[in-house]
Amino acid sequence: MITKKPSTSQEESNLIRAHSPVIGRADAPVAIVEFLDPSCEACRAFYPLVKQILDAFPGQTKLVIRFAPLHDGSDEAVGILEAARIQDIYLPVLEKLLHE
């Protein structure tokens, strides 16, 4: 489930933007903010660990994604993800990009 929630505190607004994709409940008390490059091997390797945390604490954690396109092909991957978000298929496309 992808949700968007405007930031309420200054600390949160420094990390979470209104346009940031959020996986999990918007009102979850714990936010994991990941600066993600979808073309980065380290980001791909780290994603299963983040997913385990989200699965272990449903409703208590959310993943906020901030794009950091630094590698070749990253801009295209971010464009694909943003198009997927508009079509409400963000999570399956993200997982496909990170598992390939």
The amino acid sitting at 33 is V
Task: Give residue 6's pLDDT band: very low, low, confident or very high (50, 70, 90).
Answer: very low
- Among the listed residues 68, 55, 91, the one whose alpha carbon sits nearest the alpha carbon of residue 15: 68
Residue 1 in this model has a pLDDT that exceeds 80: no
The amino acid sitting at 74 is S
pLDDT tens for 44-97 read 999 999 999 999 999 999 999 999 999 999 999 999 999 999 999 999 999 999
Task: Give residue 8's pLDDT band: very low, low, confident or very high (50, 70, 90).
Answer: low
pLDDT tens for 18-35 read 889 999 998 999 999 999
Q: How far is residue 15's CA from residue 29's CA, in Å, rounded to a whole number?
A: 15
pTM, full prediction: 0.80
Q: How far is residue 34's CA from residue 14's CA, in Å, rounded to a whole number?
A: 13
Q: How far is residue 79's CA from residue 10's CA, in Å, rounded to a whole number?
A: 29
